[in-house]
Structure 1
Amino acid sequence: MPEPDMFFFEEHYRLLGFQAIGGVDEVGRGPLAGPVVAACCIIREGVVLPEGVDDSKKLSRKKRRLIYDQLLEVEGVNYALGIVEAEEIDEINILQASHLAMRKAVKAMKVKPDYLLIDGLPVPGFEQDSRSIVKGDSRSVSIAAASILAKEFRDDLMIEYSKKYPEYGFEKHMGYGTKLHMEALKNCGPCPLHRRSFAPVRKAEDEFK
């Protein structure tokens, strides 16, 4: 099970009468390529979770994948995903795209949350009341679970994309601006997955012409 203090926010809002408390987090704000992905996760009261549920960034890839697979098997863990692709990120900017992905995830939930715990700063546009929690993915178990679900789903997407665009090595860096990725951008120019509103991609496109 996660550390007891990871349940503080969920228990607090249950005491206030809320039944379906959804943790919301997004991943993929920083990469140069690929979508931003958000997850909303409701953990039913009393459910036994895998050990080690925490901020996805704190977990090794192997450990995160193990917890992800276990979360998918736990009855009483309800979640949905929201995805915003690179083209739309370029149209509305990455902050708005992150917020949109979160709203999409919440809207897609089969079990509708009656209260939301949001990682980071406030996000507008939810029907439900919500509380934003700075570093929420290390302070709230439902946000932490959402961060793992979103991260692993996005990684799987980037691995699939790497089969179509093998020259970029997406399966190694998941679209982040590593040395390998920057060299591929310089040599090949951007592909349709790249975010042209991001300066390194725009620079590589201009130089590749």
Structure 2
Amino acid sequence: MARTPPDSLFPDYPAMPDDRFERHLAVHGLVAGLDEAGRGPLAGPVVAAAVILDLQALPDGLNDSKALSKKARERLFEEILVTSTVSIASASAREIEATNIRAASLTAMSRALHSLPLIPSYALVDGRDIPPGVKCPARALIKGDARSLSIAAASIIAKVTRDRMMTRAAAIYPAYGFDSHMGYGSARHLVAITEHGPCPLHRMTFRPLRKD
């Protein structure tokens, strides 16, 4: 499947993500944006989302999830689900351990893309890499969540979904406070690991959990 150089189209970085990529590629058919959340935490899955936006019904205020408040992300999450075609997938802590976080993230994005109920003609992927097995032309965009609206939408879906998963995990493993740090290596989390040891959600190949 043909690939285009990552930044060969619209190489500039706008102040906020826009729909230039989507409108340029829409002549070929549907365009899906892919992103993931949860590469850095010590615990929990990595979650990916694929989003095909309706360019005539864009939710107001779409932006990179990292630039939004929790309240704004939650609002946009619901609006994206109503106005867009969305698929969500994940790779577990065990899958991350079996390969590595990069491979697991790409696998999760591939799963999300191939689970869409509609078949896209193009995929816009946040980062430098194309997920394995992608069956349509794909473009990797460095900092894509700050450049492409569909990738920004996918970043919101992935982030909110993962946060909700970790909040549910906090009820199962209350000693770790997953609902406050979402599995990242906060001081509270590190103290909990020291006191209680790891739980099944922890990524044992990540420092400081990894035993060399």
| Shift, 1:64, TM fit | 1.0
Separation (CA, whole Å) in 1 of partners of 2:131 and 2:89: 16
Q: Deviations over 1:5-41 (max 9, x none)?
A: 6011001112xx3211000001100000000000000
* TM-score normalised according to structure 2 size: 0.89
Q: 1:10 is paired with a residue of what secondary structure?
A: helix
| Residue identity (%) | 45
Which of 55, 63, 68 is the aligned partner of 1:54? 63
Compute the RMSD of aligned alpha carbons.
1.5
Which of 119, 122, 130 is the aligned partner of 2:138? 130
Check whether the contact 2:31–2:120 (CA below 8 A) recurs between aligned residues: yes
Alignment partner, residue 105 of structure 1: 112
Gapped runs of 5+ residues in structure 1? none
Tell me which protein shows more helix as a share of its residues: 1
Alignment partner, residue 73 of structure 1: 82
Separation (CA, whole Å) in 1 of partners of 2:200 and 2:131: 29
Separation (CA, whole Å) in 1 of partners of 2:96 and 2:139: 25
Q: Does 1:164 align with 2:176?
A: no
Separation (CA, whole Å) in 2 of partners of 1:192 and 1:178: 18
Which of 160, 163, 166 is the aligned partner of 1:152? 160
Separation (CA, whole Å) in 2 of partners of 1:117 and 1:169: 35
Alignment partner, residue 118 of structure 1: 125
Which of 178, 197, 202 is the aligned partner of 2:210? 202
Q: Which runs of 4+ in 1 moved over 6 A?
A: none
Alignment partner, residue 11 of structure 1: 23
Q: Does 1:40 align with 2:47?
A: no
Q: 1:24 is paired with a residue of what secondary structure?
A: strand
Q: Does 1:23 align with 2:50?
A: no
Q: 2:29 is paired with a residue of what secondary structure?
A: coil
Check whether the contact 2:37–2:159 (CA below 8 A) recurs between aligned residues: yes
Aligned partner letter, 1:145: A
Task: Write the mapping of 1:73-92 to structure 2, written as runs, cut at 5 A.
Answer: 73-74=82-83, 77-92=84-99
Alignment partner, residue 10 of structure 2: none
Check whether the contact 2:107–2:131 (CA below 8 A) recurs between aligned residues: no
Check whether the contact 1:25–1:146 (CA below 8 A) recurs between aligned residues: yes
Gapped runs of 5+ residues in structure 2? 1-14
Q: Deviations over 1:25-65 (max 9, x none)?
A: 01100000000000000012312x22211100111111111
